[in-house]
């Protein structure tokens, strides 16, 4: 499937737009702890659909159990694996 590029935007610019969206989502979640796609989209003034896609596609975001129809997300914080030491 071929995706059309918006008039006037190059692929590099589209990638930058996506990266900016992810940074905005990280900033929101870093401040608020967790939030739904709808809450995040309203706060950062972006499309809920694009926010939801970014949350589902990026493995650095974690999905918490649903509360009714709401699906909260947060930032995945990696933990040390067994046998790893903090002194490198």
- Whichever domain contains 18, its CATH number is 1.10.10.10
Residue 21: inside a domain: yes
Residue 35: inside a domain: yes
pTM value is 0.72
Residue 80: inside a domain: no
Residue 71 is part of which domain span? 11-75
pLDDT class of 18 with cuts at 50, 70, 90: confident
Handedness of CA 34, 78, 26, 70 (dihedral sign): negative
8 Å CB contact between 55 and 64: no
Residue 49: inside a domain: yes
Q: pLDDT per residue over 53-75, tens digit each?
A: 999 999 999 999 998 999 999 99
Residue 88: inside a domain: no
């Amino acid at each position: 499937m071929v995706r059309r590029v918006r008039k006037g935007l190059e692929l590099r610019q589209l990638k930058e737009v996506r990266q900016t969206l992810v940074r905005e989502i990280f900033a929101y979640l870093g401040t608020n702890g967790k939030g739904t796609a709808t809450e995040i989209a309203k706060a950062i003034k972006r499309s809920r659909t694009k926010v939801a896609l970014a949350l589902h596609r990026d493995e650095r975001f974690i999905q918490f159990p649903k509360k009714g129809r709401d699906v909260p997300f947060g930032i995945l914080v990696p933990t040390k694996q067994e046998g790893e030491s903090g002194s490198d």
